[in-house]
Amino acid sequence: MERGQLFVVGIGPGDHDQMTFRAKEVIAESEVVIGYDTYITLIEDLIVGKEIHRYPMTQEVDRANQAIRTAEGGKKVSLVSSGDPGIYGMIGLVYEILAERNWERDNGIYVECVPGVSSLNSCAALVGSPLMTDFAVVSMSDLLVPWEIIIKRVEAAAMGDFVTVIYNPTSKRRVHQLRDTREIFLKYRSPKTPVAIIKGAYRESQTVVITDLQRLLEPEHQQIMGMITTIIIGNTSTFTYRHLMINPRGYKSKYELVHDTPADA
């Protein structure tokens, strides 16, 4: 039997222009495509005629197991994940299951992680240059990670003056997490610290707001909070300019930034 192949594919934020060439290539080559229903919908025009398996949210384990079993049957399979599959995505779970099954890399199914544009850099691109220096990424979802651990990570990021990207800031069930996080950041940063709120980057629902830490939880901002919203909190050096967040890399301390004479003079 032909060796099966499993591609765990990052489709980026959802717009086809933001997908990598490799992602499109392996999806085109695959006989079977498996994924969360919303992600399948985002790439429907790329998978016409293929065997498709849609799953609701929270069935990640079932998705991963079906993808592995199908590949073990000799098929070429794409398990699609939004953003990058290695950043809060599906590849970690796939490898965990394979390890439990004593998978051998050389003799078992072929597995490839196809990286994609993550929410952290797609959102950063829309709001300026907030990730020019060290940054941290924290998810507010406590479904798999206890809130006590998440809050320790938030405190460390705030105290360390990291620009901080927040995934999954709120949901219908989770209402206090973002409020608690804001209170921690206010212990270490000015209320005027720039904050970007980005909903549905590169999708039809895209909404971008530049505000500050003090006004983060204003009612008009609550309306765009949710599972497809990403928040970027600046550090003590971040500033805003013409509705952009700019985080200095440090060049100004060593170089003259503006040259009045032409470069070829």
Q: Give the residue from 168, 143, 179 showing the smallest Cα distance to 228.
A: 168
Return phi, psi of residue 239, to 5°. -135, 165
- Catalytic one among 24, 50, 142, 161? 50
Per the annotation, the verdict on 37 as an active-site residue is yes
**Chain CA centroid to CA 16, Å:** 16
- Catalytic one among 15, 17, 24, 37? 37
Per the annotation, the verdict on 50 as an active-site residue is yes
Query: Strands across the sheet with 110-114, in order?
Result: 51-55, 32-36, 76-81, 5-10, 110-114
Catalytic residue IDs: 37, 50
